[in-house]
Structure 1
Amino acid sequence: MTKNLYILLIAFLGLSAAAAIADSIIRFQIGAEIYTLHAFAAWFLMLHITGVIGSILLLKYYYYRGYRFAFFTAIINAIANLSVAAIFLLSYSFITLSFVGRSYSMPAFLFSLGSLILYALSLTFSNIRKRFWLKLAGVCALGICLVLISAVIVHMYPKDVRINIILEKIVQWVPIAGSLINVLFIINFLGEISTLKAENTNIPRQKSLENLFGFLAIVAFVFIIVSGTLLFNQSYTQSF
């Protein structure tokens, strides 16, 4: 794991966090109408493509550091998140598959939630817990899981409408809380960069990998900016 790969990992985590916050701001403004915007599909794809690239670099970090439990649970969580995204995209893009999307959305969400709990536990209780900021990220992720579990229970067994409304408002802040977890990761990696040995900062066999992810970072940044600008403009028009 070279210094450049650390920097690229930080870049993708930061880009994902900024995009998640921007997405939440738009949703606060126009709610479900975001799905009717022409730029939404491109924006949705870029959000998840950026997240997948960041996840690949994060997996490389876990493997490099020997955090095996975090490595495997992160793989499961990434697969679960991709499943949720794929089901949503199918139901969003094809009307004929909307029923199928609704049928599988809850199982996929529960799979994603279960994998997130495992991932959070690995950050909190496995050998990775020695890294303070990563352990704190795991604790925050467990807090998010608690909120999501409460939302599922209330959704399945609605009793008090007022509690349901309050919980829905809390759930709206979950993406922003998730982006703050990325900030905790970034703080940890910034600390690790400063302790890297000089001989580990320039490994020739890593150069092609650094160049590839560097190129992907530039492309992701450009497309996030373009699709995000279009989405903001369309949401601004939609709000009037």
Structure 2
Amino acid sequence: MKQEFYTSVFFGLGLTLVAGLFQSWLHFQAGINMYTLPSFQNWFLAMSFISLITSALLLTYYHHKNYHAAFWTGLIAGLTTFVSLFYLFLPTLYPIFRKHPDVFVFIGVSINLIYAVSLLVSGSGIRPWLKRAGIVSLMLCLAHLMALGWFMYVPAYPVNAAIDSVRQWLLLAERIVPVLFILNFLGEYPNAVKDQADTASFNRFHTAKVMLVLAGMYSLFLSLYLASENYDLSHISPKQNALAQPFEKGSYISSRGDTLLYRLLKPVNYDPGKRYPLVVALPYSCWPDNTRQIDACPMAKWLSTDENKKKYPAFVFVPRCPPQTGWGGVANTPSVAGLAIEAIVALNKTYSIDYQRRYISGVSRGGYGSWHMVGMQPQLFAAAIPVCGEGNPDQAKNMVAVSIWAFHGAKDVNVPVSGSRDIITAIKKAGGSPRYTEYPNAGHGIWENVIKTPGLLDWLFAQKQLDSAKSTKI
């Protein structure tokens, strides 16, 4: 093999090792939340690009050495990795993957297991370090298959801590494999042939190295972003603390022992002798603490401004959404909506709340929750403002008596606009008169448009449940 090949493959394997160690560190730091970091998708694509180029160099090596079994099984394993990118980032092309994810993970691990065996039993087995790489890979594949069987009947959500811990250690152990490959090539490098006599070969491997260098520089840039995002994930910023200060901390413990943490903004100059509206403001993000949900709750921030606190004295209830959960209405995600409703009812025993003027609003995840909670307990709410959410048309008949003003962007790629259109149509068919505002040129981030809606808060606080006897029951 040529010297330029060895320098290229060294660089590819070195990048794979360093990037893999960084990702393992990040995984231990952030846990499953690593995958939710804004830069992680770009990082994963960059790592996949590096892996594909490095795999192509390894295949070239197998082909040159006539390690046919390793070449063909390695090629199939590489193609499987390429297809997995479509599975992860373009799921609409392969909807069947979403129905049977474990099946495809099993297929991928099984193919890599065969590839590992080929390093042992084919001609490549004469190379000691390749043989050891095959042994380690085989053990890791078997461990992955055992983990799949072990957790076969464990729901995907919420993420089980034991599953994530097993994944963390298995992925860290995988970093041994590129080390073994590097040791194999270090043993061969002294016998490498200089490239000057073969310009085509030199250019081919040099191009691969240049692409790896560029990918490595981009990965370094992304790693700095990921480290910063991980810090933000685990630390409360001064801004988030300041936003939460006007809201008192609270907690609700159900008869079953389940706990819901929340923040509560009291009306200005609260007088227990008067009754005040209650606004349930659902955040769109999940946090382990009882502080940062305010920053993730646009309605709460809007109502906590000095102007709105004076103009619309009300209780603003902001429950915390525990990590890996939701407010209902989102498939495959556990809901704490029932617990939140219990907490809302419990507030009636502590504070002077107007039962006829309880409202709910949320954006994105909170928009889903607004639709879901109104559908579950319509007698609890006089009005709702769901933003960029999706309602269940089967619950439409329950929402007829609730005043609703929904908002959505026509170009929303996070939550399809049909999520609002369909439920609005269903409520109208059931006899209701919901309001609906759609922004034809907007996507998911429409909150700044929503708060510019003339008279929106005036409309909200003017809504009352007509059947006061029914509203006082909960």
Aligned CA distance change for structure 1 residues 100 and 32 (closer, same or farther; 3 Å): farther
Could you tell me which residue of structure 2 aligns to residue 121 of structure 1?
Answer: 117
Q: Distance in 2 between matches of 1:112 and 1:63?
A: 22
Could you tell me which residue of structure 1 aligns to residue 182 of structure 2?
Answer: 186
Q: Return the TM-score normalized by structure 2.
A: 0.46
Could you tell me which residue of structure 1 aligns to residue 140 of structure 2?
Answer: 144
How far apart are residue 115 of structure 1 and its match?
Answer: 0.7
CA RMSD of aligned residues (A): 2.2
Could you tell me which residue of structure 1 aligns to residue 173 of structure 2?
Answer: 177
Q: Distance in 1 between matches of 2:226 and 2:195?
A: 41
How far apart are residue 100 of structure 1 and its match?
Answer: 4.9
Aligned CA distance change for structure 1 residues 201 and 115 (closer, same or farther; 3 Å): farther
CA contact (8 A) 1:2 1:201 kept: no
Question: Unmatched 5+ residue regions in structure 1?
Answer: 159-163
Residue among 206, 212, 223 paired with 1:211: 206
Instruction: Indicate the structure with greater strand content.
Output: 2
Can you list the C-alpha shifts for 1:130-162, whole angstroms capped at 9, x where unaligned? 00000000000111012111111112256xxxx
Can you list the C-alpha shifts for 1:82-139, whole angstroms capped at 9, x where unaligned? 2223212235xxxx78965532422221121111111010011111110000000000
CA contact (8 A) 1:70 1:119 kept: yes
Point out the more displaced range, 171-180 or 18-27: 171-180
CA contact (8 A) 2:37 2:229 kept: yes
Q: Distance in 2 between matches of 1:6 and 1:131?
A: 16
* SS at 1:63 equivalent: helix
Could you tell me which residue of structure 2 aligns to residue 17 of structure 1?
Answer: 17
Residue among 96, 99, 104 paired with 1:108: 104
Structure 1 residues 70-85: aligned runs within 5 Å: 70-85=70-85
Q: Distance in 2 between matches of 1:165 and 1:38?
A: 22
Could you tell me which residue of structure 1 aligns to residue 219 of structure 2?
Answer: 224
Q: Distance in 2 between matches of 1:177 and 1:137?
A: 12
Runs of 4+ aligned residues of structure 1 deviating over 4 Å after TM superposition are: 96-101, 164-168, 198-202
Instruction: Indicate the structure with greater helix content.
Output: 1
Q: Distance in 1 between matches of 2:93 and 2:201?
A: 43
For 1:40, give the aligned amino acid.
F
For 1:81, give the aligned amino acid.
T
2:40 aligned with 1:45: no
For 2:233, give the aligned amino acid.
Q
Aligned CA distance change for structure 1 residues 153 and 218 (closer, same or farther; 3 Å): same
* SS at 1:156 equivalent: coil
Q: Distance in 1 between matches of 2:109 and 2:205?
A: 32
Q: Return the TM-score normalized by structure 1.
A: 0.88
Could you tell me which residue of structure 1 aligns to residue 26 of structure 2?
Answer: 26
Aligned CA distance change for structure 1 residues 11 and 219 (closer, same or farther; 3 Å): same
Q: Distance in 1 between matches of 2:36 and 2:45?
A: 15
**Highest CA radius of gyration, 1 or 2?**
2
| Larger relative contact order, structure 1 or 2 (CA cutoff 8 Å, min sep 6) | 1
CA contact (8 A) 2:8 2:206 kept: no
Aligned CA distance change for structure 1 residues 104 and 14 (closer, same or farther; 3 Å): farther
Could you tell me which residue of structure 1 aligns to residue 62 of structure 2?
Answer: 62
Aligned CA distance change for structure 1 residues 88 and 232 (closer, same or farther; 3 Å): same
Can you list the C-alpha shifts for 1:185-214, whole angstroms capped at 9, x where unaligned? 000001101123x46675222122133112
Can you list the C-alpha shifts for 1:198-231, whole angstroms capped at 9, x where unaligned? 4667522212213311220221111110111111
Aligned residues: 230
CA contact (8 A) 2:39 2:225 kept: yes
Percent identity between the two aligned chains: 29
